[in-house]
Structure 1
Amino acid sequence: MEIKSGDARPIAILLAVYNGEKYLSEQIDSILDQTNTSWTLYIRNDGSSDGTQRIIDSYLRRFPDRIVQIDRGGANLGCRGNFFRLLETVEADYYMFSDADDVWLPEKIQRSFSLLKQKEQLYPGTAILVHTDKVVCDDKMNIIVPSWWKAVRLNPDLFHSLRCIPLSPVVGGATTVFNRFLRDLCLPIPEDPPQHDCWIPLQAAKYGKIFALHDPLILYRQHGNNAVGAPTEPYRFRWGKIGRIKRIVQRDWNLAGYYRRLGYGSRLKYFFTRFEVLIKLQWSKITYK
Protein backbone atom coordinates (compact mmCIF):
# COMPACT_ATOMS: atom_id res chain seq x y z
CA MET A 1 0.00 0.00 0.00
CA GLU A 2 1.28 3.44 -0.93
CA ILE A 3 0.38 6.55 1.03
CA LYS A 4 0.16 9.84 -0.85
CA SER A 5 1.17 13.13 0.68
CA GLY A 6 -1.31 15.99 0.22
CA ASP A 7 -0.62 18.57 -2.48
CA ALA A 8 -0.57 21.37 0.09
CA ARG A 9 2.31 19.64 1.91
CA PRO A 10 4.72 18.41 -0.73
CA ILE A 11 7.52 17.35 1.65
CA ALA A 12 7.44 13.91 3.28
CA ILE A 13 9.68 13.60 6.34
CA LEU A 14 10.51 9.93 6.90
CA LEU A 15 11.40 9.18 10.53
CA ALA A 16 12.63 5.67 11.35
CA VAL A 17 12.81 4.82 15.05
CA TYR A 18 13.77 1.85 17.19
CA ASN A 19 13.80 2.05 21.01
CA GLY A 20 14.00 5.82 20.76
CA GLU A 21 12.04 6.91 23.83
CA LYS A 22 14.99 8.84 25.29
CA TYR A 23 15.29 11.37 22.47
CA LEU A 24 12.28 10.98 20.17
CA SER A 25 10.11 13.75 21.64
CA GLU A 26 12.89 16.31 21.30
CA GLN A 27 13.33 15.49 17.62
CA ILE A 28 9.61 15.56 16.81
CA ASP A 29 9.30 18.89 18.63
CA SER A 30 12.14 20.33 16.54
CA ILE A 31 10.29 19.31 13.37
CA LEU A 32 7.07 20.87 14.63
CA ASP A 33 9.02 24.09 15.29
CA GLN A 34 10.24 24.41 11.69
CA THR A 35 9.67 27.73 9.92
CA ASN A 36 8.54 25.79 6.83
CA THR A 37 5.23 23.99 7.41
CA SER A 38 4.83 22.35 3.98
CA TRP A 39 5.49 18.86 5.31
CA THR A 40 3.92 15.73 6.71
CA LEU A 41 5.85 13.56 9.17
CA TYR A 42 5.71 9.79 8.58
CA ILE A 43 6.99 7.59 11.40
CA ARG A 44 7.73 3.89 11.38
CA ASN A 45 8.36 2.16 14.70
CA ASP A 46 10.67 -0.79 14.04
CA GLY A 47 9.29 -3.09 16.74
CA SER A 48 10.54 -1.09 19.72
CA SER A 49 10.42 -2.71 23.16
CA ASP A 50 10.55 0.53 25.18
CA GLY A 51 8.08 3.42 25.43
CA THR A 52 8.54 4.59 21.83
CA GLN A 53 5.00 3.67 20.77
CA ARG A 54 3.46 5.56 23.68
CA ILE A 55 5.34 8.69 22.61
CA ILE A 56 4.23 8.26 19.00
CA ASP A 57 0.62 7.80 20.11
CA SER A 58 0.70 11.01 22.12
CA TYR A 59 1.82 12.99 19.07
CA LEU A 60 -0.69 11.25 16.81
CA ARG A 61 -3.49 12.37 19.13
CA ARG A 62 -2.26 15.95 19.26
CA PHE A 63 -1.24 16.37 15.60
CA PRO A 64 -3.40 14.01 13.53
CA ASP A 65 -3.15 16.28 10.49
CA ARG A 66 0.64 16.49 10.68
CA ILE A 67 1.88 13.04 11.72
CA VAL A 68 1.16 9.63 10.21
CA GLN A 69 2.36 6.25 11.48
CA ILE A 70 3.32 3.63 8.90
CA ASP A 71 3.06 -0.13 9.58
CA ARG A 72 1.86 0.08 13.16
CA GLY A 73 2.93 -3.16 14.80
CA GLY A 74 5.16 -4.01 11.86
CA ALA A 75 8.15 -6.35 11.98
CA ASN A 76 11.66 -5.34 12.93
CA LEU A 77 13.48 -4.55 9.67
CA GLY A 78 16.65 -2.97 11.02
CA CYS A 79 17.76 0.61 10.41
CA ARG A 80 18.28 0.15 6.68
CA GLY A 81 15.02 -1.73 6.10
CA ASN A 82 13.04 0.69 8.23
CA PHE A 83 14.04 3.72 6.14
CA PHE A 84 13.54 1.88 2.85
CA ARG A 85 10.09 0.71 3.91
CA LEU A 86 9.12 4.34 4.49
CA LEU A 87 10.58 5.41 1.16
CA GLU A 88 8.70 2.68 -0.71
CA THR A 89 5.40 3.37 1.05
CA VAL A 90 5.09 7.16 0.97
CA GLU A 91 4.42 9.10 -2.24
CA ALA A 92 5.36 12.78 -2.21
CA ASP A 93 7.03 15.46 -4.31
CA TYR A 94 10.02 15.76 -1.96
CA TYR A 95 11.60 13.63 0.75
CA MET A 96 13.69 14.13 3.88
CA PHE A 97 15.05 11.47 6.24
CA SER A 98 14.98 11.97 9.99
CA ASP A 99 16.82 10.05 12.68
CA ALA A 100 15.03 9.76 16.00
CA ASP A 101 17.81 11.18 18.16
CA ASP A 102 18.80 14.43 16.43
CA VAL A 103 17.44 17.97 16.67
CA TRP A 104 16.71 20.07 13.61
CA LEU A 105 17.42 23.79 13.67
CA PRO A 106 14.31 25.85 12.85
CA GLU A 107 15.47 26.86 9.34
CA LYS A 108 16.59 23.38 8.26
CA ILE A 109 13.65 22.56 6.02
CA GLN A 110 13.20 26.05 4.58
CA ARG A 111 16.81 26.65 3.65
CA SER A 112 17.59 23.23 2.20
CA PHE A 113 14.25 23.07 0.37
CA SER A 114 14.77 26.57 -1.08
CA LEU A 115 18.13 25.56 -2.51
CA LEU A 116 16.60 22.41 -4.00
CA LYS A 117 13.86 24.45 -5.67
CA GLN A 118 16.46 26.84 -7.10
CA LYS A 119 18.42 23.95 -8.57
CA GLU A 120 15.25 22.44 -10.05
CA GLN A 121 14.70 25.66 -11.98
CA LEU A 122 18.20 25.33 -13.43
CA TYR A 123 17.88 21.59 -14.10
CA PRO A 124 14.19 20.81 -14.74
CA GLY A 125 13.20 17.17 -14.76
CA THR A 126 16.45 16.16 -13.03
CA ALA A 127 16.97 13.99 -9.95
CA ILE A 128 18.44 16.39 -7.36
CA LEU A 129 19.71 15.93 -3.81
CA VAL A 130 20.72 18.74 -1.44
CA HIS A 131 22.60 18.06 1.77
CA THR A 132 23.87 20.25 4.60
CA ASP A 133 26.56 20.41 7.22
CA LYS A 134 25.82 19.40 10.83
CA VAL A 135 26.68 20.40 14.38
CA VAL A 136 28.06 17.42 16.31
CA CYS A 137 26.85 17.26 19.92
CA ASP A 138 27.13 14.88 22.84
CA ASP A 139 24.16 12.99 24.27
CA LYS A 140 23.05 16.05 26.27
CA MET A 141 23.28 18.32 23.21
CA ASN A 142 26.45 20.06 24.32
CA ILE A 143 28.30 21.10 21.17
CA ILE A 144 31.42 19.08 20.34
CA VAL A 145 32.12 20.78 16.99
CA PRO A 146 29.95 23.55 15.46
CA SER A 147 30.67 22.45 11.89
CA TRP A 148 31.45 18.82 11.06
CA TRP A 149 32.82 19.60 7.60
CA LYS A 150 35.18 22.22 9.01
CA ALA A 151 36.20 20.01 11.93
CA VAL A 152 37.32 17.20 9.64
CA ARG A 153 38.49 19.72 6.99
CA LEU A 154 36.33 18.17 4.33
CA ASN A 155 35.07 20.13 1.32
CA PRO A 156 31.88 18.32 0.23
CA ASP A 157 31.92 19.84 -3.25
CA LEU A 158 34.93 17.69 -4.13
CA PHE A 159 33.06 14.43 -3.55
CA HIS A 160 29.82 14.63 -5.52
CA SER A 161 30.94 12.60 -8.55
CA LEU A 162 29.86 9.03 -9.15
CA ARG A 163 33.49 7.98 -8.78
CA CYS A 164 33.76 9.38 -5.26
CA ILE A 165 30.32 9.33 -3.66
CA PRO A 166 30.28 5.61 -2.66
CA LEU A 167 33.71 5.96 -1.03
CA SER A 168 33.38 9.24 0.86
CA PRO A 169 31.58 10.09 4.12
CA VAL A 170 30.23 13.40 2.88
CA VAL A 171 26.43 12.86 2.69
CA GLY A 172 24.51 12.12 5.89
CA GLY A 173 20.99 10.76 5.46
CA ALA A 174 19.37 13.12 7.96
CA THR A 175 20.96 16.16 6.29
CA THR A 176 19.32 15.57 2.90
CA VAL A 177 16.31 16.66 0.91
CA PHE A 178 15.63 15.20 -2.54
CA ASN A 179 12.94 15.24 -5.16
CA ARG A 180 10.52 12.64 -6.50
CA PHE A 181 12.65 12.07 -9.60
CA LEU A 182 15.45 10.75 -7.40
CA ARG A 183 13.14 8.69 -5.20
CA ASP A 184 11.70 6.91 -8.22
CA LEU A 185 15.19 6.17 -9.57
CA CYS A 186 16.02 4.49 -6.25
CA LEU A 187 13.13 2.04 -6.54
CA PRO A 188 12.85 -0.86 -6.51
CA ILE A 189 15.32 -1.29 -3.68
CA PRO A 190 17.90 -3.98 -4.60
CA GLU A 191 17.91 -7.25 -2.71
CA ASP A 192 21.03 -6.38 -0.70
CA PRO A 193 21.24 -2.57 -0.72
CA PRO A 194 23.73 -0.38 1.11
CA GLN A 195 22.44 1.95 3.81
CA HIS A 196 19.89 4.52 2.69
CA ASP A 197 22.40 7.38 3.02
CA CYS A 198 24.69 5.57 0.59
CA TRP A 199 22.12 4.21 -1.88
CA ILE A 200 20.28 7.51 -2.39
CA PRO A 201 23.43 9.63 -3.03
CA LEU A 202 24.81 6.88 -5.27
CA GLN A 203 21.76 7.13 -7.53
CA ALA A 204 21.87 10.92 -7.40
CA ALA A 205 25.50 10.91 -8.53
CA LYS A 206 24.77 8.36 -11.24
CA TYR A 207 21.63 9.89 -12.74
CA GLY A 208 21.26 13.41 -11.34
CA LYS A 209 23.00 16.11 -9.37
CA ILE A 210 24.11 16.68 -5.76
CA PHE A 211 24.53 20.08 -4.12
CA ALA A 212 25.89 21.04 -0.70
CA LEU A 213 24.51 23.78 1.52
CA HIS A 214 27.50 24.93 3.53
CA ASP A 215 25.69 25.58 6.78
CA PRO A 216 25.11 23.25 9.74
CA LEU A 217 21.33 22.90 10.07
CA ILE A 218 21.06 19.80 12.22
CA LEU A 219 22.24 19.01 15.74
CA TYR A 220 23.66 15.52 15.33
CA ARG A 221 23.61 13.71 18.67
CA GLN A 222 26.68 11.57 19.23
CA HIS A 223 26.04 8.81 21.77
CA GLY A 224 26.79 5.17 22.42
CA ASN A 225 23.79 3.84 20.50
CA ASN A 226 24.36 5.59 17.16
CA ALA A 227 24.15 3.23 14.20
CA VAL A 228 27.07 5.19 12.70
CA GLY A 229 29.07 7.83 14.52
CA ALA A 230 30.64 10.98 13.13
CA PRO A 231 34.44 11.32 13.54
CA THR A 232 35.46 14.80 14.59
CA GLU A 233 39.16 14.78 13.70
CA PRO A 234 40.62 15.61 10.28
CA TYR A 235 40.95 12.63 7.94
CA ARG A 236 44.49 11.33 7.60
CA PHE A 237 46.29 8.37 6.16
CA ARG A 238 46.20 5.75 8.92
CA TRP A 239 47.84 2.51 7.85
CA GLY A 240 49.12 1.21 11.19
CA LYS A 241 50.38 -2.34 11.50
CA ILE A 242 50.57 -4.94 8.74
CA GLY A 243 47.58 -6.81 10.19
CA ARG A 244 45.45 -3.71 9.97
CA ILE A 245 46.47 -3.13 6.36
CA LYS A 246 45.37 -6.68 5.52
CA ARG A 247 41.98 -6.08 7.15
CA ILE A 248 41.53 -2.81 5.23
CA VAL A 249 42.42 -4.45 1.92
CA GLN A 250 40.08 -7.39 2.60
CA ARG A 251 37.24 -5.03 3.54
CA ASP A 252 37.76 -2.95 0.41
CA TRP A 253 38.00 -6.06 -1.76
CA ASN A 254 34.59 -7.17 -0.48
CA LEU A 255 33.13 -3.67 -0.91
CA ALA A 256 34.52 -3.47 -4.44
CA GLY A 257 32.69 -6.69 -5.32
CA TYR A 258 29.51 -5.38 -3.70
CA TYR A 259 29.55 -2.10 -5.61
CA ARG A 260 30.36 -3.93 -8.84
CA ARG A 261 27.09 -5.84 -8.41
CA LEU A 262 25.32 -2.49 -7.97
CA GLY A 263 26.71 -1.29 -11.31
CA TYR A 264 29.52 0.91 -9.99
CA GLY A 265 32.25 -0.70 -12.07
CA SER A 266 35.21 -3.05 -11.74
CA ARG A 267 37.30 -3.72 -8.64
CA LEU A 268 40.18 -1.93 -10.37
CA LYS A 269 38.04 1.18 -10.69
CA TYR A 270 37.05 0.91 -7.03
CA PHE A 271 40.64 0.69 -5.76
CA PHE A 272 41.86 3.44 -8.06
CA THR A 273 39.03 5.69 -6.89
CA ARG A 274 39.66 4.71 -3.28
CA PHE A 275 43.17 6.10 -3.63
CA GLU A 276 41.76 9.19 -5.38
CA VAL A 277 39.37 9.79 -2.48
CA LEU A 278 42.20 9.52 0.05
CA ILE A 279 44.15 12.12 -1.88
CA LYS A 280 41.10 14.38 -2.07
CA LEU A 281 40.52 14.05 1.67
CA GLN A 282 44.04 15.28 2.23
CA TRP A 283 43.65 18.02 -0.39
CA SER A 284 40.33 19.19 1.05
CA LYS A 285 42.12 19.92 4.34
CA ILE A 286 44.13 22.51 2.44
CA THR A 287 41.40 23.94 0.21
CA TYR A 288 38.47 24.06 2.65
CA LYS A 289 38.47 26.73 5.34
Structure 2
Amino acid sequence: MATYNGRHFIEEQLNSIFPQLSTNDELIISDDHSTDGTWEFLLDLQKSDTRIKLFQNQGQGLIGNFANAIQQSSNPIIFLSDQDDVWQLDKVEKTLPLFENSTTQVVVSDLIIVDNDFEVLVPSYQAMRKTHSGFWHNLLKSSYIGAGMAFRSDLKTTILPIPPDVPMHDMWIGLLADYHHGVVFIPDQLVYYRRHGLNASEIKTTASRIQQFKWRWNALQLVRKRIKEIKKK
Protein backbone atom coordinates (compact mmCIF):
# COMPACT_ATOMS: atom_id res chain seq x y z
CA MET A 1 0.00 0.00 0.00
CA ALA A 2 1.15 3.50 -0.82
CA THR A 3 -0.16 6.28 1.43
CA TYR A 4 -0.22 10.05 1.34
CA ASN A 5 -2.56 12.15 3.47
CA GLY A 6 -5.12 9.36 3.56
CA ARG A 7 -6.11 9.51 7.22
CA HIS A 8 -9.75 10.16 6.36
CA PHE A 9 -10.04 7.01 4.24
CA ILE A 10 -7.44 4.47 5.27
CA GLU A 11 -9.21 2.76 8.19
CA GLU A 12 -12.01 1.44 5.97
CA GLN A 13 -9.47 -0.04 3.58
CA LEU A 14 -7.40 -1.60 6.35
CA ASN A 15 -10.54 -3.10 7.90
CA SER A 16 -11.28 -4.82 4.59
CA ILE A 17 -7.73 -6.17 4.26
CA PHE A 18 -6.86 -7.44 7.75
CA PRO A 19 -9.46 -10.27 7.86
CA GLN A 20 -7.93 -11.71 4.66
CA LEU A 21 -4.36 -11.87 5.96
CA SER A 22 -2.83 -15.00 7.43
CA THR A 23 -0.30 -14.96 10.24
CA ASN A 24 2.49 -15.30 7.67
CA ASP A 25 1.33 -12.38 5.55
CA GLU A 26 2.69 -8.87 5.70
CA LEU A 27 1.16 -5.48 5.06
CA ILE A 28 3.84 -3.26 3.56
CA ILE A 29 2.97 0.43 3.68
CA SER A 30 5.12 3.14 2.13
CA ASP A 31 4.14 6.66 3.13
CA ASP A 32 5.07 9.72 1.09
CA HIS A 33 5.60 12.02 4.10
CA SER A 34 1.94 12.57 5.01
CA THR A 35 1.10 15.67 7.02
CA ASP A 36 -2.47 14.83 8.08
CA GLY A 37 -1.77 12.26 10.80
CA THR A 38 -1.66 9.21 8.51
CA TRP A 39 1.90 8.28 9.51
CA GLU A 40 1.24 8.71 13.22
CA PHE A 41 -1.93 6.60 12.95
CA LEU A 42 0.01 3.83 11.21
CA LEU A 43 2.81 3.90 13.76
CA ASP A 44 0.26 3.44 16.54
CA LEU A 45 -1.51 0.65 14.65
CA GLN A 46 1.77 -1.16 14.07
CA LYS A 47 2.17 -1.61 17.83
CA SER A 48 -0.81 -3.99 17.87
CA ASP A 49 -0.07 -5.92 14.66
CA THR A 50 3.45 -7.03 13.77
CA ARG A 51 2.37 -7.88 10.21
CA ILE A 52 2.38 -4.14 9.48
CA LYS A 53 5.75 -2.98 8.14
CA LEU A 54 6.15 0.74 7.64
CA PHE A 55 8.53 2.63 5.39
CA GLN A 56 8.81 6.22 4.28
CA ASN A 57 9.24 6.97 0.61
CA GLN A 58 12.76 8.13 -0.12
CA GLY A 59 11.80 9.31 -3.58
CA GLN A 60 8.91 11.51 -4.52
CA GLY A 61 5.42 10.96 -5.84
CA LEU A 62 2.99 8.13 -6.42
CA ILE A 63 5.16 5.94 -8.66
CA GLY A 64 8.16 6.14 -6.35
CA ASN A 65 5.95 5.44 -3.36
CA PHE A 66 4.58 2.22 -4.84
CA ALA A 67 8.05 1.22 -6.04
CA ASN A 68 9.33 1.59 -2.49
CA ALA A 69 6.54 -0.59 -1.10
CA ILE A 70 7.16 -3.26 -3.74
CA GLN A 71 10.90 -3.21 -3.04
CA GLN A 72 10.34 -3.83 0.68
CA SER A 73 8.04 -6.84 0.20
CA SER A 74 9.28 -10.37 0.85
CA ASN A 75 6.37 -12.77 0.26
CA PRO A 76 5.83 -14.64 -3.04
CA ILE A 77 2.60 -12.88 -4.11
CA ILE A 78 2.21 -9.10 -3.94
CA PHE A 79 -1.19 -7.39 -3.86
CA LEU A 80 -1.23 -3.67 -4.64
CA SER A 81 -3.59 -1.50 -2.65
CA ASP A 82 -4.70 2.11 -2.76
CA GLN A 83 -5.27 3.78 0.60
CA ASP A 84 -8.82 4.87 -0.10
CA ASP A 85 -10.49 1.82 -1.67
CA VAL A 86 -12.24 -1.10 0.01
CA TRP A 87 -11.60 -4.76 -0.85
CA GLN A 88 -14.32 -7.34 -1.18
CA LEU A 89 -13.96 -9.89 1.60
CA ASP A 90 -13.08 -12.70 -0.85
CA LYS A 91 -10.48 -10.79 -2.88
CA VAL A 92 -7.48 -12.81 -1.71
CA GLU A 93 -9.39 -16.10 -1.74
CA LYS A 94 -10.43 -15.61 -5.37
CA THR A 95 -7.08 -14.32 -6.58
CA LEU A 96 -4.47 -16.67 -5.14
CA PRO A 97 -5.62 -19.89 -6.91
CA LEU A 98 -4.97 -18.27 -10.29
CA PHE A 99 -1.24 -18.31 -9.56
CA GLU A 100 -1.30 -22.11 -9.49
CA ASN A 101 -0.83 -21.76 -13.25
CA SER A 102 2.93 -21.28 -13.55
CA THR A 103 2.58 -19.02 -16.61
CA THR A 104 0.46 -16.45 -14.75
CA GLN A 105 2.55 -13.50 -13.64
CA VAL A 106 -0.09 -10.85 -13.01
CA VAL A 107 -3.79 -11.08 -12.11
CA VAL A 108 -6.04 -8.05 -12.55
CA SER A 109 -9.58 -8.13 -11.19
CA ASP A 110 -12.52 -5.94 -12.13
CA LEU A 111 -13.50 -2.96 -9.96
CA ILE A 112 -16.73 -1.23 -9.00
CA ILE A 113 -16.19 2.53 -9.21
CA VAL A 114 -17.95 4.35 -6.38
CA ASP A 115 -18.09 7.84 -4.92
CA ASN A 116 -17.09 8.85 -1.41
CA ASP A 117 -20.36 7.46 -0.03
CA PHE A 118 -19.98 4.17 -1.97
CA GLU A 119 -22.74 5.04 -4.42
CA VAL A 120 -21.99 3.22 -7.67
CA LEU A 121 -20.68 5.49 -10.42
CA VAL A 122 -19.57 2.76 -12.86
CA PRO A 123 -20.60 -0.86 -12.18
CA SER A 124 -17.65 -2.35 -14.08
CA TYR A 125 -14.26 -0.79 -14.75
CA GLN A 126 -13.44 -3.54 -17.24
CA ALA A 127 -16.62 -2.95 -19.24
CA MET A 128 -15.90 0.78 -19.31
CA ARG A 129 -12.32 0.25 -20.52
CA LYS A 130 -13.16 -2.71 -22.83
CA THR A 131 -10.47 -4.66 -21.02
CA HIS A 132 -8.52 -7.59 -22.37
CA SER A 133 -4.95 -8.79 -22.21
CA GLY A 134 -2.39 -8.15 -24.91
CA PHE A 135 0.72 -5.99 -24.99
CA TRP A 136 -0.17 -3.78 -27.94
CA HIS A 137 -3.79 -3.33 -26.93
CA ASN A 138 -2.77 -2.11 -23.48
CA LEU A 139 0.05 0.04 -24.78
CA LEU A 140 -2.51 1.99 -26.80
CA LYS A 141 -5.21 1.94 -24.11
CA SER A 142 -4.03 0.59 -20.79
CA SER A 143 -6.53 -1.39 -18.75
CA TYR A 144 -4.00 -2.43 -16.11
CA ILE A 145 -5.30 -1.04 -12.84
CA GLY A 146 -3.14 -1.25 -9.74
CA ALA A 147 -6.09 -1.29 -7.36
CA GLY A 148 -7.09 -4.68 -8.77
CA MET A 149 -3.59 -6.05 -9.37
CA ALA A 150 -1.63 -8.89 -7.81
CA PHE A 151 1.63 -10.31 -9.13
CA ARG A 152 4.48 -12.69 -8.41
CA SER A 153 7.37 -11.38 -6.35
CA ASP A 154 9.67 -12.89 -9.00
CA LEU A 155 8.68 -9.95 -11.21
CA LYS A 156 10.52 -7.54 -8.92
CA THR A 157 13.79 -8.20 -10.70
CA THR A 158 12.10 -7.20 -13.96
CA ILE A 159 10.02 -4.21 -12.92
CA LEU A 160 12.40 -2.57 -10.41
CA PRO A 161 13.57 0.09 -10.51
CA ILE A 162 10.46 1.68 -12.00
CA PRO A 163 11.48 4.54 -14.30
CA PRO A 164 10.10 7.83 -12.95
CA ASP A 165 8.90 8.88 -16.40
CA VAL A 166 6.59 5.92 -17.13
CA PRO A 167 2.91 6.97 -17.33
CA MET A 168 2.01 4.90 -14.24
CA HIS A 169 3.44 2.04 -12.18
CA ASP A 170 0.58 -0.38 -12.96
CA MET A 171 0.96 0.14 -16.72
CA TRP A 172 4.70 -0.56 -16.39
CA ILE A 173 4.14 -3.79 -14.45
CA GLY A 174 1.39 -4.94 -16.81
CA LEU A 175 3.31 -4.27 -20.01
CA LEU A 176 6.42 -6.11 -18.84
CA ALA A 177 4.37 -9.13 -17.78
CA ASP A 178 2.13 -9.03 -20.87
CA TYR A 179 5.20 -9.01 -23.11
CA HIS A 180 5.50 -12.66 -22.12
CA HIS A 181 1.72 -13.26 -22.15
CA GLY A 182 1.64 -13.48 -18.37
CA VAL A 183 -1.36 -11.26 -17.53
CA VAL A 184 -4.79 -12.65 -16.63
CA PHE A 185 -7.84 -10.40 -16.34
CA ILE A 186 -10.71 -11.80 -14.29
CA PRO A 187 -14.30 -10.46 -14.29
CA ASP A 188 -14.73 -10.73 -10.51
CA GLN A 189 -15.39 -7.29 -9.04
CA LEU A 190 -13.14 -7.50 -6.01
CA VAL A 191 -12.56 -3.83 -5.15
CA TYR A 192 -14.71 -0.79 -4.48
CA TYR A 193 -12.62 1.81 -6.31
CA ARG A 194 -13.43 5.08 -4.58
CA ARG A 195 -13.33 8.44 -6.37
CA HIS A 196 -13.62 11.42 -4.05
CA GLY A 197 -11.87 14.34 -5.68
CA LEU A 198 -8.59 13.91 -3.78
CA ASN A 199 -7.31 10.83 -5.63
CA ALA A 200 -3.70 10.76 -6.76
CA SER A 201 -4.61 9.06 -10.04
CA GLU A 202 -7.17 9.62 -12.78
CA ILE A 203 -9.62 7.17 -14.35
CA LYS A 204 -9.69 9.12 -17.59
CA THR A 205 -6.74 11.30 -18.43
CA THR A 206 -7.23 14.94 -19.31
CA ALA A 207 -3.97 15.04 -21.27
CA SER A 208 -3.97 15.94 -24.95
CA ARG A 209 -3.72 13.27 -27.64
CA ILE A 210 -0.19 14.44 -28.41
CA GLN A 211 0.83 14.05 -24.78
CA GLN A 212 -0.80 10.61 -24.60
CA PHE A 213 1.10 9.54 -27.72
CA LYS A 214 4.36 10.76 -26.18
CA TRP A 215 3.64 8.81 -22.98
CA ARG A 216 2.95 5.61 -24.91
CA TRP A 217 5.95 6.00 -27.18
CA ASN A 218 8.15 6.58 -24.15
CA ALA A 219 6.63 3.59 -22.33
CA LEU A 220 7.36 1.37 -25.36
CA GLN A 221 10.98 2.49 -25.48
CA LEU A 222 11.44 1.97 -21.73
CA VAL A 223 9.92 -1.53 -21.86
CA ARG A 224 12.15 -2.50 -24.78
CA LYS A 225 15.18 -1.14 -22.96
CA ARG A 226 14.38 -3.05 -19.77
CA ILE A 227 13.79 -6.31 -21.65
CA LYS A 228 17.16 -5.94 -23.42
CA GLU A 229 18.84 -5.32 -20.07
CA ILE A 230 17.29 -8.45 -18.61
CA LYS A 231 18.33 -10.60 -21.56
CA LYS A 232 21.94 -9.48 -21.10
CA LYS A 233 22.04 -10.70 -17.49
Question: TM-score, length-normalised on structure 2?
Answer: 0.86
Q: 1:240 maps to which residue? A: none
Amino acid at match of 2:86: V
1:144 is matched with 121
Does the 8 A contact of 2:109 with 2:188 survive in 1?
yes
C-alpha deviation, 1:220, in angstroms: 0.5
Aligned alpha-carbon RMSD (Å): 2.3
Flag the structure with larger Rg: 1
Structure 1 counterpart of 2:214: 254
Partner in structure 1 of residue 152 of structure 2: 179
Q: When the two structures are aligned, how many residues end up with a matched partner?
A: 223
Alpha-carbon deviation of 1:208?
4.4
* Matched position secondary structure for 1:165: helix
Would you say the 8 A contact 2:63–2:162 is kept in 1?
no
Q: Does 1:33 align with 2:19?
A: yes
Instruction: Tell me how far apart the structure 1 counterparts of residues 166 and 148 of structure 2 sit (CA, whole Å).
Output: 20
Match of 2:198 in 1: 225
Q: Say whether 1:114 aligns with 2:97.
A: yes
In structure 2, list runs of 5 or more residues that go unmatched.
226-233
The yes-or-no answer on 1:131 pairing with 2:116 is no
For residues 212 and 124 of structure 2, the distance between their equivalents in structure 1, rounded to whole angstroms, comes to 29
Distance in 2 separating the partners of 1:149 and 1:208: 19
1:89-108, aligned counterparts within 5 Å? 89-108=72-91
SS in 2 for 1:26: helix
1:195 equivalent in alignment to 2:168 = yes
The code of the aligned residue for 1:142 comes to E
- Displacement of 1:177: 0.9
Contact kept? 2:111, 2:189, Cα under 8 Å: yes
Structure 2: distance between partners of 1:91 and 1:183:
10
Q: What percentage of aligned pairs have identical amino acids?
A: 29
Separation (CA, whole Å) in 1 of partners of 2:215 and 2:21: 41
Q: Residue in 1 aligned with 2:47?
A: 61
Which residue, out of 183, 192, 197, partners 1:210?
A: 183
Per-residue CA deviations over 1:36-75 (Å, capped at 9, x if unaligned) read 66521011111011110122023201212x211123xx54
Q: CA distance change for structure 1 residues 54 and 182 in 2, over 3 Å: closer, same or farther?
A: same
- Structure 2 residue corresponding to 1:87, chosen from 62, 70, 87: 70
Structure 1 unaligned residues grouped into runs of 5+: 1-14, 232-243, 266-289
Task: Measure, in 2, the Cα distance between the counterparts of 1:35 and 1:69.
Answer: 17
Q: Taking structure 1 as reference, are residues 229 and 256 closer, same or farther at Cα in structure 2, changes over 3 Å only?
A: closer
